Copies of this chain bind each other. A is one copy, B any other.
Amino acid sequence: MNPTIELLKSHRSIRKFKDQPIPRALLEELVQAGQCAATSSHVQAYSIIHVINPENREKIAELAGGQSYVASAGAFLVFCADMKRATEAAERAGAEVTRGMTEQLLVASIDTALMAQNLAVAAESEGLGLCYIGGIRNNPEAVSELLQLPEHVYPVFGMCLGYPDQNPEVKPRLPLASILKEDRYDSRNDEALVAEFDDTMHRYYLERTGGNKNTNWSEQLKPLFTSKLRAHMKGFLEGRGFGRK
């Protein structure tokens, strides 16, 4: 295993950070590394809001569901899907631009994720820790207002970055055989593979909590299909000019 793959395989979310800011030059280096990720047709449909104002950090921590590390991390970034820059540039160049397509929602969201993951890898290679904050989609309207996001820009997720003050274990992942399929989507073994993974996660939770957390992967997923459905997202995105048609 080469050192880069070793680094990728050692990822775990960090939620407790030292009280140590990230130097501006390092942050810029990370964003530039992020920008080098592949981008659909070179569109680079993203912007990052670096939230510095402590009051706004506190507000976003609360809007994201009471995640205090949003306020306490060395840096907090909001990754935005941004079709404004590209559509306006094409328009100035004389294109008749159509907005609101679902394809544009996908392109901008995927571009943003590829860039963020490159930035995350760069950050970990410099000894930083991080966690993604999907919780900003709990209240995307309020977050957008706070950051003065214009139309055709929406906040996809946040990221806490900082020097780790904890050293959690790497969390297991689904068996390779359930992810990697040959030539077609063959689901014959999926139930057995999930059962195997439920056992893995059951042991992981028991060991990590000294026997107190008696659950597994399937059980832990249940809230995802009730409380985390974020039923407002369709209307919110349409209001921002994404996915109308």
Contacts and interface: CB of A to CB of B under 8 A. Distances in A.
A140 to B, nearest CB: 10
A241 to B, nearest CB: 13
Given A36-B8, A96-B226, A121-B8, A137 B179 contact: no
A40 to B, nearest CB: 5
* Residue of A4, A56, A96, A147 most packed against chain B (CB within 10 A): A4
B47 A231 contact: no
Most B C-beta atoms less than 10 A away, residue of A35, A88, A170, A179:
A179
Contact of A243 (B32, B86, B243): B243
Interface string A39-64: 01111101111111100100000000
A225 B97 contact: yes
A170 B36 contact: yes
Nearest to A95: B222
A221 B29 CA distance: 26
A28 B104 CA distance: 32
Name the prevailing secondary structure of the A interface residues: helix
B237 A102 contact: yes
Contacts of A226: 95-96, 98
A221 B95 contact: yes
Contacts of A8: 33, 36-37, 118, 121-122
Interface stretch (A15-23, A66-74, A149-157, A161-169): A149-157
Contacts of A243: 102, 234, 243
A48 B221 contact: no
Given A85-B190, A95-B226, A243-B234, A32 B176 contact: yes
Contact of A113 (B93, B114, B224): B114
Contacts of A174: 35, 44, 85
A39 B213 CA distance: 21
